[in-house]
């Protein structure tokens, strides 16, 4: 059994979003303390030679004796100030965590599991395998069920029915995060994801959400399409060697591409030529199959979209203005640290300077960057297709590499591939879900600290109670 | 004509509060300041008695009765002398100062009751020596001590003042016992001035008895009751565990502000003392420490001088 080192934060943690308010509350608490110290109080014993003529009035004396009551009132005032400051400071409470565990994340959505029996068997096998390693407790978390998601006991797994609606990868990630934080008390957790991810499970932006929702590696255990299908597990899709440059010359020899920018000496032009595509310059009459355009203006793009509706594939790249029928929502700052571009064939190109933005709803991902954010998206439009590449197609970092023609070919065939929504995710999509670059286990204590249980409303309630009690006690004392 | 006794305090000095006197430093200077305040306008000494046996002559001093001037001697010497009689020159006086722990109480005043009593004693000794009387000093707390015997000689005032300065409030005692011992010490008829808060353990019964005995043998007894307004319940005080400094272990949790009967009970006690003293022919002078000394003492001395000026 691996040695589990206890984190220094292996205990309940109370944190504040705005510690300044806490400091302000503490400063405010000094006021009643100062008033208490400065206020005059009757000495406990007082000499008075005519004391024999005083009436022994212990009751009134005790009632007017301020110190015992003062301490309670003082404590209430101090606590009121501190709790008010703490309430505004956004205090959160994170319960202590211990040990480690393994979650078998089972996709139980209707569309995701072509072979539900196989999926349950794989989940049970994963459960058994991880339990036998002694790496801690293992649980099965099923998502996509009609009642949402829940932990399923091993004994109940065989009787578990899948949901009637398809579930997305994002559903699974959210269920995983929620269950890991609220259903378990582990300090660290690892995940095996039993799924057959199709494009139906993909949602725009899931690549960006993936490390946020679960900042660790999730080993994919892929369910076969059908009982008869060959190969199962991630090796089936992920283990294949990157394909060589397709023999596009044969398949696209009849294609005509129009390049609106550049000349014969440009890398794009040369790549298309290498693919056997007939390249024509802008202004040449005819109906090309592919139209490449770099950073088109809104007017230019509108004209090209009309051509797409008539059957052409418009491949736009670089900076883009927002508009309808475009598979991309521009926005955000340009980023350059997303890594290389990964094609569905597994080919990785050199890092390019990425444009900001996110995929438009309904767009499918054609390529991703190494950080799992989409690099190219496509959407069918009329009889044609609109493709957007979130970098410059003329970027020297890309065009200088030997795999550049593969990118050009993938972009041109983005809508031509016969891949419906039920088709399995490509290698880039799978990578986006698996994220083998992230650490194996996730520190749940750290993750929970980001979203500890908020104490604000309880602190405000406490402050109100203290205020009410202080007012009541003060009135009683004065009466 | 017995002459008109008239005291008029010097403007300003009559308003001197105790805290101002305290700043003057020595008791001698304090006594002179007080006396100058109320004696400057006096036409007659308040303490001169009348006797039949001529004793000696003395230079005329301001305040002396002009009827006692020896006009014949004036005719011969062109200087004013008064004739002193046996009683006038040798009247033995005892100033008895209460030094029990309760006299150390300050209350709302600027000085303690004992310090206030010291001022009065110093002033009275000064006045009596000027009048030819022989003041003595006794103090009583747990025990009675005779600090200075009654004398009238140069330097005696100094002895009295030194003795007064050494008094400190402590212990618990009875004025009754002290008065009895003082009475025994007086060889003949004399005057006893008691400076005390008159807070007696037996509600003053023994004190009145002793005063009665002194009066029975012909002594003049003057009781100056010194108190603070806090003790009398005239100044509001808050809740506390109050204790008599003479019995510090016995505390009374009380709120004088809210004890309506407190002031009345104290007042009734002192009224009983006053009535008892007056019934026995003793003088009773109630003073509170917040009063300017010149005013408090001067008014009484003026009244006393006026009374003695009346034909008997």
Nearest to B255 among A48, A51, A60 (CB): A60
* Cα B286 from Cα B278, distance rounded (Å): 13
Nearest to B243 among A45, A61, A64 (CB): A45
A65 and A129, same domain (yes or no): no
The answer to whether residue B305 is domain-embedded is no
Tokens of B56: 């000696």
Share of residues in chain A with pLDDT > 70 (%): 81
Count the neighbouring beta carbons within 10 Å of the beta carbon of residue B189.
Answer: 14
> Starting at the edge strand that comes first in sequence, how are the strands of the sheet with A13-16 ordered?
A13-16, A91-94, A453-454
Residues ≥6 apart with Cβ < 8 Å to A431: A238, A342, A368, A372
Tokens of A118: 């196989």
The answer to whether residue A391 is domain-embedded is yes
The answer to whether residue B61 is domain-embedded is yes
B62 and B105, same domain (yes or no): no
The answer to whether residue B43 is domain-embedded is no
* Cα A370 from Cα B97, distance rounded (Å): 105
A134 and A200, same domain (yes or no): yes
The answer to whether residue A34 is domain-embedded is yes
Spatial CA neighbour of A346 closest among A257, A286, A425, A276 = A425
A344 and A405, same domain (yes or no): yes
Print the domain residue range for B192. Answer: 13-38+91-300
Residues ≥6 apart with Cβ < 8 Å to A437: A217, A370
- Whether residue A46 and residue B242 make contact (CB cut-off 8 A), yes or no, is yes
Confidence of residue B43 (pLDDT cuts 50, 70, 90): very low
A408 and A275, same domain (yes or no): yes
Spatial CA neighbour of A432 closest among A154, A301, A237, A257 = A237
For chain B, counts of helices (H) and of strands (E): 10, 10
A77 and A193, same domain (yes or no): no
- Whether residue A61 and residue B102 make contact (CB cut-off 8 A), yes or no, is no
B99 and B68, same domain (yes or no): no
The answer to whether residue A240 is domain-embedded is no
> Starting at the edge strand that comes first in sequence, how are the strands of the sheet with B240-244 ordered?
A45-47, B240-244, B247-254
Provide the sign of the torsion angle of the four alpha carbons B149, B154, B155, B160, taken in this order: positive
A318 and A261, same domain (yes or no): yes
- Whether residue A62 and residue B253 make contact (CB cut-off 8 A), yes or no, is yes
B71 and B183, same domain (yes or no): no
CB A118 within 8 A of CB A227: yes
Q: What is the DSSP string of B35-87?
A: HHHHHTT-SS-TT----SSEEEEEE--TT--GGGB-HHHHHHHSS-EEEEEHH
Q: What pLDDT digit, counting tens, does each position of A368-426 carry? A: 888 778 889 988 888 888 999 998 888 888 888 888 988 888 888 887 654 466 677 77
The enclosing domain of A336 has a CATH number of 3.40.50.880
How large is the average pLDDT for residues A136-147? 88
B189 and B257, same domain (yes or no): yes
How large is the average pLDDT for residues A124-134? 79
CB A215 within 8 A of CB A181: no
A168 and A258, same domain (yes or no): no
* Cα B286 from Cα B178, distance rounded (Å): 20
- Whether residue A48 and residue B243 make contact (CB cut-off 8 A), yes or no, is yes
Provide the sign of the torsion angle of the four alpha carbons B169, B172, B174, B180, taken in this order: negative
A72 and A25, same domain (yes or no): yes
- Whether residue B254 and residue A61 make contact (CB cut-off 8 A), yes or no, is yes
B33 and B76, same domain (yes or no): no
A147 and A17, same domain (yes or no): no
Spatial CA neighbour of A136 closest among A327, A1, A271 = A1
B215 and B106, same domain (yes or no): yes
Domain boundary (B85, B100, B124) is at B85
Tell me the chain A residues in contact with residue B105 when contact means C-beta distances shorter than 8 Å. Answer: 47-49
Q: In total, how many domains does chain A have?
A: 3
CB A172 within 8 A of CB A107: yes
| Secondary structure, 3-state, B209-271 | HHHHHHHHCCCEEEEEEEECCCCCCCCCCCCEEEEECCEEEEEEEECHHHCHHHHHHHHHHHH
A402 and A268, same domain (yes or no): yes
The answer to whether residue B167 is domain-embedded is yes
Q: What pLDDT digit, counting tens, does each position of A428-471 carry? A: 778 888 888 899 888 887 777 666 778 888 999 999 999 999 88
Share of residues in chain B with pLDDT > 90 (%): 34
Q: What pLDDT digit, counting tens, does each position of B52-108 carry? A: 567 678 888 777 778 888 898 999 998 999 887 655 456 789 999 999 999 999 988
Highest mean pLDDT among A63-77, A254-268, A319-333, B196-210: B196-210
Q: Is A68 on the interface with B (CB under 8 A)?
A: no
Q: Is A153 on the interface with B (CB under 8 A)?
A: no
B81 and B146, same domain (yes or no): no
B18 and B60, same domain (yes or no): no
Tokens of A391: 């970098």
B172 and B136, same domain (yes or no): yes
CB A111 within 8 A of CB A200: yes
User: What is the maximum alpha-carbon separation in chain B?
Assistant: 74
CB B160 within 8 A of CB B139: no
Nearest to B244 among A49, A56, A64 (CB): A49
3-state percent breakdown (helix, strand, coil) of chain A, nearest 5? 40, 20, 40
CB B152 within 8 A of CB B133: yes
Nearest to A50 among B199, B241, B251 (CB): B199
The answer to whether residue A20 is domain-embedded is yes
* Cα B155 from Cα B148, distance rounded (Å): 12
- The pLDDT assigned to A420 comes to 60
B70 and B203, same domain (yes or no): no
The enclosing domain of B191 has a CATH number of 3.40.50.410
A284 and A406, same domain (yes or no): yes
The answer to whether residue A231 is domain-embedded is no
Tokens of B178: 């002290």
The answer to whether residue B49 is domain-embedded is no
B197 and B276, same domain (yes or no): yes
The answer to whether residue B7 is domain-embedded is no
Count the neighbouring beta carbons within 10 Å of the beta carbon of residue A411.
Answer: 23
Confidence of residue B241 (pLDDT cuts 50, 70, 90): confident
The answer to whether residue A194 is domain-embedded is yes
- The pLDDT assigned to B99 comes to 95
Q: Which run of H or of E encompasses A119?
A: helix A116-132
The interface pTM score, or ipTM, of the predicted complex is 0.79
The answer to whether residue B310 is domain-embedded is no
Q: In total, how many domains does chain B have?
A: 2
The answer to whether residue B1 is domain-embedded is no
Tokens of A411: 């972009």
A297 and A166, same domain (yes or no): no
Tell me the chain A residues in contact with residue B245 when contact means C-beta distances shorter than 8 Å. Answer: 47, 49
The answer to whether residue A281 is domain-embedded is yes
pTM > 0.80: no
Q: Please give the span between the terminal C-alpha atoms of chain B, in angstroms, as a whole number.
A: 12
CB A366 within 8 A of CB A427: no
- The pLDDT assigned to A252 comes to 37
Print the domain residue range for A188. Answer: 100-225+435-444
* Cα A449 from Cα A14, distance rounded (Å): 8
B117 and B60, same domain (yes or no): no
Alpha helix segments (H runs only) across B166-202: 175-185
The answer to whether residue A296 is domain-embedded is yes
Spatial CA neighbour of B140 closest among B121, B125, B157 = B121
To probe the interface with B, which of A45, A48, A66, A479 has the most B CB atoms within 10 Å?
A48
């Amino acid at each position: 059994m691996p040695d589990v080192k206890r984190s220094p934060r292996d205990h309940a943690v109370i944190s504040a979003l705005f510690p300044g308010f806490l400091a302000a509350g503490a400063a405010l608490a000094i006021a009643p303390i100062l008033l208490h110290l400065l206020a005059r109080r009757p000495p406990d014993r007082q000499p008075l030679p005519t004391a024999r003529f005083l009436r022994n009035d212990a009751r009134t004396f005790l009632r007017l004796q301020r110190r015992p009551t003062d301490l309670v009132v003082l404590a209430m005032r101090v606590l009121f100030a501190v709790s008010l400051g703490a309430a505004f400071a956004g205090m959160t409470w994170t319960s202590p965590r211990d040990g480690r565990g393994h979650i078998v994340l089972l996709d139980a959505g209707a569309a995701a599991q072509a072979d539900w029996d196989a999926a349950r068997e794989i989940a049970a096998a994963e459960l058994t395998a991880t339990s036998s390693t002694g790496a801690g407790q293992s649980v099965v978390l099923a998502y996509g069920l009609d009642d949402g998601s829940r932990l399923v006991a091993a004994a109940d797994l065989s009787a578990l029915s899948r949901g009637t609606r398809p579930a997305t990868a994002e559903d699974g990630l959210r269920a995983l995060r929620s269950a890991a934080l609220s259903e378990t008390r582990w300090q660290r957790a690892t995940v095996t994801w039993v799924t057959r991810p199709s494009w139906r499970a993909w949602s725009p932006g899931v690549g960006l959400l993936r490390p946020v929702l679960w900042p660790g590696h999730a080993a994919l255990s892929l369910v076969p399409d059908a009982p008869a299908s060959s190969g199962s597990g991630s090796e089936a899709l992920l283990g294949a060697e990157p394909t060589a440059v397709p023999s596009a010359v044969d398949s696209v020899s009849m294609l005509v591409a129009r390049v609106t920018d550049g000349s014969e000496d440009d890398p794009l032009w040369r790549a298309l030529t290498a693919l056997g595509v007939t390249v024509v310059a802008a202004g040449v009459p005819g109906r090309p199959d592919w139209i490449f355009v770099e950073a088109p203006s809104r007017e230019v793009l509108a004209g090209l979209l009309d051509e797409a509706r008539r059957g052409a594939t418009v491949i736009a790249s670089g900076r883009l203005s927002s508009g309808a029928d475009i598979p991309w929502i521009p926005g955000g700052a340009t980023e350059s640290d997303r890594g290389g571009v990964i094609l569905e064939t597994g080919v990785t190109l050199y890092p390019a300077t990425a444009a900001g933005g996110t995929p438009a709803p309904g767009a499918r991902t054609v390529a991703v960057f190494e950080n799992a954010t989409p690099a190219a998206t496509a959407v069918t439009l009329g009889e044609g297709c609109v493709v957007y590449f979130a970098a410059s197609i003329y970027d020297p970092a890309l065009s200088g590499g030997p795999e550049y023609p593969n990118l050009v070919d993938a972009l041109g065939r983005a809508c031509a591939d016969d891949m419906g929504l039920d088709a399995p995710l490509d290698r880039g999509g799978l990578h986006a879900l698996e994220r083998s670059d992230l650490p194996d286990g996730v520190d749940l204590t750290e993750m929970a600290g980001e979203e500890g249980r908020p104490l604000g409303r309880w602190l405000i309630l406490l402050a109100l109670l203290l205020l009410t009690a202080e007012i009541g006690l003060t009135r009683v004392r004065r009466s | 004509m017995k002459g008109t006794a008239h005291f008029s305090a010097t403007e300003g000095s009559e308003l001197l509060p105790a805290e101002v006197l305290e700043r003057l430093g020595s008791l001698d200077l304090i006594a002179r300041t007080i006396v100058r305040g109320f004696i400057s306008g006096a036409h007659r000494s308040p303490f001169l008695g009348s006797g039949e046996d001529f004793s000696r002559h003395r230079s005329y001093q301001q305040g002396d009765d002009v009827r006692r001037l020896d006009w014949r001697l004036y005719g011969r010497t062109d200087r004013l002398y008064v004739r002193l009689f046996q009683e006038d020159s040798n009247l033995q006086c005892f100033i008895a100062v209460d030094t029990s722990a309760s006299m150390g109480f300050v209350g709302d005043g600027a000085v303690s009751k004992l310090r206030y009593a010291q001022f009065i004693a110093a002033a009275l000794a000064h006045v009596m020596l000027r009048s030819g009387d022989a003041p003595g000093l006794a103090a009583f707390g747990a025990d009675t001590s005779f600090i200075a015997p009654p004398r009238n000689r140069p330097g005696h005032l100094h002895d009295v003042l030194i003795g007064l300065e050494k008094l400190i409030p402590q212990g618990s005692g009875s004025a009754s016992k002290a008065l009895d011992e003082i009475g025994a010490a007086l060889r003949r008829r004399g005057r006893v001035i008691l400076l005390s808060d008159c807070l007696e353990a037996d509600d003053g019964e023994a004190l009145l008895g002793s005063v009665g005995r002194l009066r029975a043998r012909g002594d003049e007894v003057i009781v100056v009751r010194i108190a603070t307004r806090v003790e009398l319940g005239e100044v509001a005080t808050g809740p506390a565990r109050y204790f008599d400094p003479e019995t510090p272990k016995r505390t009374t949790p009380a709120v004088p502000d809210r004890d309506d009967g407190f002031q009345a009970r104290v007042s009734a006690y002192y009224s009983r003392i006053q009535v008892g003293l007056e019934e026995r022919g003793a003088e009773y002078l109630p003073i509170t420490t917040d009063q300017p000394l010149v005013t408090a003492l001067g008014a009484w001395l003026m009244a006393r001088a006026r009374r003695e000026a009346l034909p008997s």
